[in-house]
């Protein structure tokens, strides 16, 4: 049986492509500073960078756990979880994102292809409304470049467009893409 191939699949990154992740991080930083003071907020971001260096992606759940464990303040884990998990993600979407996704839908099959931790990243995509806007077509990979063969198998197409801000993703696409592609 022949596999259905889309004429065009458009892969879209989320962080700093559809959603202002730098703004989200700044908002979280302000809340941490207000709640915990400068030194403790700075320590949170140190742990954030340590975890990021260890796993090579942003991992808020692990950062929260380590910071809470190290700090030892009762209730801290719950307060940090509240700040990060109940963030108004939709407020950080770039202007006209939903209109853009709707327009892309008229040209091809938009798919969110994002990397990050398997807990926080899907939550952010779902609560921002992005998952619904692309009909639930969302793939989360710890490292996109390592998952490209599975991505192409899941979404076979004659042509791909990849909208991503990371040069390593563009380079991996050049090495592994089974069809014509365009990177943005």
pLDDT in tens, 112-155: 999 988 999 999 999 999 999 999 999 999 888 889 999 999 99
Cβ count within 10 A of residue 50:
13
What distance, in Å, lies between the first and last C-alpha atoms of the chain? 34
Residue that is last in its domain, among 89, 113, 140? 89
Residue that is last in its domain, among 57, 89, 121? 89
In this structure, are 101 and 11 located in the same domain? Answer: yes
What is the distance between the alpha carbons of residues 5 and 157, in angstroms, rounded to a whole number? 5
* The predicted structure's pLDDT at residue 14: 96
In this structure, are 63 and 117 located in the same domain? Answer: no
Nearest-5° angle of CA 8, CA 9, CA 10? 115
The residues that bridge with 140 in the sheet, in sequence order, are 114
In this structure, are 106 and 122 located in the same domain? Answer: yes
In this structure, are 106 and 137 located in the same domain? Answer: yes
* The predicted structure's pLDDT at residue 172: 83
Give the count of alpha carbons within 13 A of 21, CB side only: 16
Domain that holds residue 79: 21-89
Q: What is the pLDDT of residues 146-177, one digit of tens each?
A: 899 999 999 999 999 999 888 888 788 888 87
**Residue 110 near residue 6 (C-beta atoms within 8 A):** no
In this structure, are 15 and 102 located in the same domain? Answer: yes
User: In sequence order, which residues have a C-beta less than 8 Å from that of residue 81 and are 6 or more positions away?
Assistant: 64
* 78 alpha-carbon distance from chain centroid: 23
Strands, sheet with 109-115, edge to edge from the N-terminal-most edge strand: 138-141, 109-115, 6-12, 157-163, 180-183
Residue that is last in its domain, among 43, 69, 89? 89
Number of domains the chain contains: 2
């Amino acid at each position: 049986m022949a596999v259905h191939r889309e004429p065009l699949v458009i892969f879209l990154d989320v962080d700093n492509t559809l959603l202002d992740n730098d703004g989200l991080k700044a908002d979280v930083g302000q809340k941490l500073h207000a709640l915990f003071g400068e030194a403790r907020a700075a320590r949170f971001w140190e742990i954030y960078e340590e975890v990021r260096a260890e796993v090579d992606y942003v991992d808020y759940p692990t950062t929260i756990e380590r910071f809470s464990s190290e700090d030892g303040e009762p209730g801290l884990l719950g307060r940090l979880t509240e700040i990060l998990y109940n963030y108004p993600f939709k407020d950080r979407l770039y202007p006209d994102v939903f209109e853009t996704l709707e327009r892309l839908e008229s040209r091809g099959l938009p798919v969110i292809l994002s990397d990050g931790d398997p807990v926080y990243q899907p939550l952010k995509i779902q609560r921002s409304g992005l998952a619904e806007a692309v009909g639930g077509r969302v793939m989360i990979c710890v490292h996109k470049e390592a998952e490209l063969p599975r991505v192409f198998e899941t979404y076979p197409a004659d042509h791909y467009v990849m909208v991503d801000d990371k040069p390593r993703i563009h380079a991996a696409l050049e090495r592994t893409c089974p069809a014509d592609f365009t990177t943005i």
